[in-house]
Structures are given as structure tokens and as C-alpha cells.
Structure 1
Amino acid sequence: MRLVTLPFLLTSILPSVHADVKFTSPAGGETFTGGGSIKAAWTDSGTAPSISDLTTYQLFLCAGGNDPTAFIQLASITEKGLFANGNTAEGSVAVGVGDDTPKNAYFLKMISVASTGGTVTNFSPRFSLSGMTGTFPAIVQAGAKAVSDTAGPASVNQVAGAGEVGPVGGDAASYALPFTAQTGPVRYAPMQKYPATKITAKMKTPLYPTSPYAIATTYLPILQGATTQTGVITWSFSQYENTASAPAPSDPMQQFLNRWRD
């Protein structure tokens, strides 16, 4: 078993790259020591889309089973990596984000954005973290114990033209259920909506009703919710520089500005 020292906070990792991602590191069954750096590396899997067709990615540390309802996203390693910068990334993990048992409970999740629109989500092989001081929710513990090998969850291809599939981390019905109606340690939020090009509404009505609440009069039990997973974005957008010259100030404005000339 090869041990790799791992500093305390999950930080942004330095990306580096080529199709759909196949992780070459961490290796299945590898053990890292909580409190130091962990290195991720990947190559082109040979499955569409090609890495050359991917633009940016997000990388997360996850733990649990292979079923989408049995694992949770523990922390973000990098929010916006660039495939143009290479095919490796390195970050650190805090010792309190999870447990050190069961064995091979951890894996990485990469959500990549395609230049044609949509995303593809890939998972690394499973690995262990020793010396961890946190705890897992019961559903995560059970999910991890039920896995008998080191393979991570199946990839999810939501790239435009690749066919319709369910969201990562839960089925479509989970994301459609109002947040206040959900129970359990994992809650689901719908994908962020594509912004309109114009603001036409005079009054905006909420998508969902406000959350009910009651004022506590005694000490409350420990919150059972572990995390909220948001549906991955399947749309893309482009940004362009506005090269038009600024308009000249109006006469009243010019007169006002002239007052402050030296």
C-alpha cells in the first residue's frame, strides 16, 4: 500500500490535459494520509466527447456508494479548472471532512463543460484517507460498505446531442421535488436556469414558497441534513467584448463636468 502525505484545507488545485476523462490517479485502492496533498491525473478515455472538446471543469471530493442516492459531495477541490492548462491537478483535504472507514470510501468527481453545450461527469477509482476525524451520515457509510471493488460510479454524459440522462447525484424526480418537501441527509436543488437576454418582468414570483419555520424554545437535535446537491448545468454561454465607444455626455452633464475642471 502506497501512502501519500496529504495540508488541512481543501484548496484550489493546479489543473493541467485530452475525450471524456479517464482518471489515472488516484489509483484504485490507494491510501492517502489526511492533512496533506492529493494528486489527480487523467487522460482521454476514448469515449466522446474528446477532451479537446471540453473547456472547463469542476473537481470535487465525494464519499459513499456508487448509487447516486448513496454518495455525497464533501468538498470542492477546484471551482473552474481549464483543460487547456494540462491533465493534472493537486489539492489538499481537511481531516475533518469525513471518516477514515470504511476502506475505499472516497473518490473524485469531475464535471466537465463541453464547447458544444452540456456537461459530462466522470468519477475516479476509489481510494482511502487515513487519519480522518470526521463522520459520515449513515446512508454514506452503508453505501460505501456495499461496494466490493474500487470502481467509482458510472459516468453521466449530458453533452448536447448525447441523449437525455438523469442528473448526477439523484434522479430527475429528486431535483423536481420542492426543497421544503424533501427529507433525509441529502437534499436536491434544480439546475440553475439559463439567464434571459432581457428583463421584462415587473414583478418576479418565487419558484417555490418560502420555507416554514418555528421558533425554538429548547435545544434542538443535531441537523440530519448532510449536503445539498444541485443539478449540473446543461447549457453554455459565450461572452464578447463590447467594442462600442462610450457616448459623449449630454449638454447638462458636460456643463456639470466643466465646473470641476482645474
Structure 2
Amino acid sequence: MQFRLLALLVAITPFALADVEFTSPAAGAKLTGGGSINIGWKDSGSAPSISDLKTYQLFLCAGGNDDSTFIQLTSITTSGTFAAGNKAIGNVGAGVGASTPSNAYFLKMISVAKEGGSVTNYSPRFSLSGMTGTFPPNVLAGAKAVTGTDGPPTVNQVANNANAAPAAASDYAIPYTMQTGLTKFAPMQPVPPSKITKKNPTPQYPTSAVSLASTFLPTPKQVTTMTMSQTFSVSSMENTVAAAPMPSDDMAKFLARWKD
């Protein structure tokens, strides 16, 4: 069964000042699974401004506060827009998780900024009773280890965040497949040469061992990729010789050769 988005309600206020703070479900709320729940949010008071955000994805999660101890159980919506409202109503399938431990559940919203990048906000924890599913061992252990009702901390990867450090040249020097952060850095796109001169091509990077997955891999956590800007420039000028009219005698010789 799935956690489905049924409706988006209530237009967002034009005086929004900051990113998302969940208001519903309340911290420590005890809800019944297999039915609908109300989801709401407001300005958190921290940058970026909600007016600087455009779309979001909303998920139901469970487990601990560390990446390795919680999972996204299912998607509420993958194409929400802040212009549509600040509330949602979802239906919880009883089979998506377990009833215990208490406060094992929370919501995750990934918001995309208009100027690039994203910010991920988490709701306070709440409980769902009447659930018939189970949690993986690491998720169950993570949920049991949590004290209090706070969800995971906010992850701010908005490109125009004044507090975010700009990408350094060293970030782009790390091979793409070896990067592990929420933002990945791709090298500058190469400019093709005027002709191919290399006769014996060699790999750009040394070969490495490959391990095939025997179980389901975790959901990728990267949220954006930044590509280094091009630094080359081009210039052009008019070919005045080619544009000049051909003399009449040269034209006659050209037509004669063309006829032959």
C-alpha cells in the first residue's frame, strides 16, 4: 500500500520569510495508520526564503536521525509547488511500517530553490498505531535509539545561500565517482580540438574493482550537481576578401572552367 497525496489546500501567504517548518503532525502526535493525516508547514525563520523556493518533494520516513538508520517509506508527492499551498492531506497505508517503537515516523521535504540548489527539512516525530508492516533491523535500531521528538537536522544546499561557501577549484578536481557529498561537482566540459592527433588513447583514470550489489542499494542522497563554467572565449571577424565582388575577367575565366 502507498502513502498517497489526496489534495493540496490553503494558499501560501505572500509574507513568507523562510524555509519550511512543519506544523502538523505535531511533535509526539499519536495517529492511526491506515487512514488520512493532515500535513502542514509554515516559515521557519531561517534562510532561504520560501519565496525563493519553487517546487518540493514530500516523503514519509521512519527510523533514526542518521542517514544510515532511516529510510523513505514512500512518496507523498514528487511534484509539489509552493504556489499551490502549505498543507496536504495524505492517506497512510497500514502496511508501510510498524506500530512500534513510538515516534518512529517523520516527514521529509526536499525543496528546490529558484536560483539553484535545494534545502531538505524534516518534521518532528510522531507515532502511527494499527500498522501491520515491519522495519528493517537498522531502521528499528535507529528509531529505538532516538530520544525526544526532533527529526534529522536541516540540510541546506541552496546555491544562493549567503552562508554557504562557494565551490572551490579543489572540489572539481575530485573524480565524480569518488564524491560522496549531497552536492557533486562535475569538471568543465572539454572543447573538442580541430583534429584528432592521438593514435593510442589511454583511460583518463586507472581501472578499479567492481562489486555487484546482492541486495537493494540505499536511495541516493545527492540532490544537485554543479558543473564548472567554461573559461575559453572565441572571437570572429568578417572575411572582407571573400565578401569582395569578383572582377569581371576572373568571373569569365571561372565560368569557362565550370563549363568545361
TM-score, length-scaled by structure 1: 0.64
Shift of 1:12: 2.7
Matched residue, 2:164? 163
Match of 1:32 in 2: 31
**Percent sequence identity over aligned pairs:** 56
Counterparts of 1:87-106 in structure 2 under 5 Å?
87-106=86-105
Q: CA shift at 1:189, angstroms?
A: 11
* Offset, 1:227: 3.9
Return the offset for 1:229. 2.9
Q: For 2:153 and 2:60, how far apart are their aligned partners in 1?
A: 16
Amino acid at match of 1:163: A
Per the alignment, residue 137 of structure 1 pairs with 136
Shift of 1:14: 2.7
1:9 partner letter? Q
Alignment-derived partner of residue 126 in structure 1? 125
In terms of fraction of residues, the more helix-rich structure is: 2
| Corresponding residue of 1:231 | 222
Report 1:67-82 matches (<5 A): 67-82=66-81
Displacement of 1:163 in angstroms is 1.5
Matches within 5 A, 1:112-261: 112-160=111-159, 161=161, 162-163=163-164, 176=177, 225=216, 227-233=218-224
Partner of 2:5: 12
Structure with max Cα Rg: 2
Change in 2 beyond 3 A, CA 1:54/1:127: same
Q: Note the alpha carbon deviations across 1:194-216, whole angstroms, 9 max, x for none.
A: 9x99xx9xxxx9xx9997669xx
Residue 78 of structure 1, CA deviation: 0.4
> Secondary structure of 1:14's match?
strand
CA distance in 2, matches of 1:226, 1:103: 27
Count of residues in correspondence between the two structures: 200
Q: Counterpart amino acid of 1:228? A: T
Cα distance in structure 1, aligned partners of 2:165 and 2:72: 23
Q: Distance in 1 between matches of 2:92 and 2:153?
A: 24
**Which residue type is aligned with residue 144 of structure 1?**
A
Deviations 1:86-135 (A, max 9, x none): 11011112211111111000000000011111101100000011111111
Q: Distance in 2 between matches of 1:71 and 1:117?
A: 27
CA contact (8 A) 1:158 1:164 kept: no
Q: Is the contact made by 2:182 and 2:224 (CA closer than 8 Å) also made in structure 1?
A: no
Which amino acid counterpart does residue 229 of structure 1 have in structure 2?
P
Structure 1 residue aligned with 2:49: 50
Change (3 A) 1:135 1:164: farther
In the alignment, residue 119 of structure 2 is paired with which amino acid? Answer: V
Give the superposition deviation at 1:68. 2.2
2:69–2:142 CA contact under 8 A, matched in 1: yes
Quick one: distance in 2 between partners of 1:46 and 1:151? 17
Is the 2:185–2:225 Cα contact (8 Å) retained in structure 1? no
Contact 2:62–2:143 (CA under 8 A) maintained in structure 1: yes
Cα distance in 2, alignment partners of residues 85 and 39 from structure 1: 16
1:61 aligned counterpart, secondary structure? strand
Task: Give 3-state SS (helix, strand or coil) of 1:228's partner.
Answer: coil
Aligned-partner Cα distance in 1 for 2:209–2:133 = 32
Which blocks of at least 5 consecutive residues in structure 2 are unaligned?
167-173, 193-202, 227-260
SS at match of 2:94: coil
In structure 2, how many angstroms separate the alpha carbons of the residues matched to 1:189 and 1:12? 30
Q: What CA RMSD, in Å, does the superposition of the two structures yield over aligned residues?
A: 3.7
Distance 2:219 2:178 in 1: 13
Matched AA of 1:84: A
In structure 2, what residue type is equivalent to 1:143? G
Code of the aligned partner of 1:232: V
The equivalent of 1:184 in structure 2 is none
